[in-house]
């Protein structure tokens, strides 16, 4: 298992089917960085509780709303126009790189928030993913399960 959250996230995301599962969960309104953090914490045996979930959400929500989402919206807005315009395509790729960097920084913020939480206290790694996914409209349980399985082997 990767010791840092970013390496763990890259490893899990690269597994077959995980990218699509994460995109389906994102479409249901869940934050993929937060989901990957939840999977990482579960694998480390960190106990999930309401306070910790609230703390991670308080880190995620403003960064996602103010930084990641505007970059993603711009990238998506330019998607079809960029296919026929080389200059716009190049700019879109730069925005895509910025979006990924914004997600990486969010991952680092989440890791720093959880760095002092004791490991090895919990054996149920599903509590974190269920806690993060709680309240999501139209939750894709198959996608959540796929992420859980992929994270177990990371």
**Model confidence pLDDT, tens digit, residues 39-96:** 999 999 999 999 999 999 999 999 999 999 999 999 999 999 999 999 999 999 999 9
Where are the chain's structural domains?
5-152
pLDDT of residue 1: 40
37/78 Cα distance (integer angstroms): 30
CB-based burial label for 109 (10 Å; 0-12, 13-18, 19+): middle
pLDDT averaged over every residue in the chain: 93
pTM, two decimal places: 0.92
pLDDT of residue 154: 57
111/37 Cα distance (integer angstroms): 8
């Amino acid at each position: 298992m990767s010791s840092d959250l970013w390496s763990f996230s890259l490893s899990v995301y690269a597994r077959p089917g995980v990218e699509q599962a994460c995109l389906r969960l994102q479409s249901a309104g869940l934050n993929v960085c937060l989901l990957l953090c939840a999977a990482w914490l579960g694998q480390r045996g960190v106990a999930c509780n309401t306070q910790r979930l609230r703390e991670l959400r308080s880190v995620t929500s403003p960064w996602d709303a103010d930084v990641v989402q505007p970059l993603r919206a711009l990238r998506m807005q330019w998607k079809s126009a960029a296919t026929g315009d080389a200059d716009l395509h190049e700019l879109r790729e730069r925005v895509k790189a910025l979006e990924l960097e914004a997600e990486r920084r969010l991952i680092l913020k989440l890791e720093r928030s959880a760095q002092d939480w004791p490991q090895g206290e919990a054996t149920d790694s599903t509590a974190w993913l269920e806690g993060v996914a709680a309240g999501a409209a139209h939750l894709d349980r198959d996608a959540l399960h796929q992420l859980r399985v992929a994270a177990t082997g990371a």
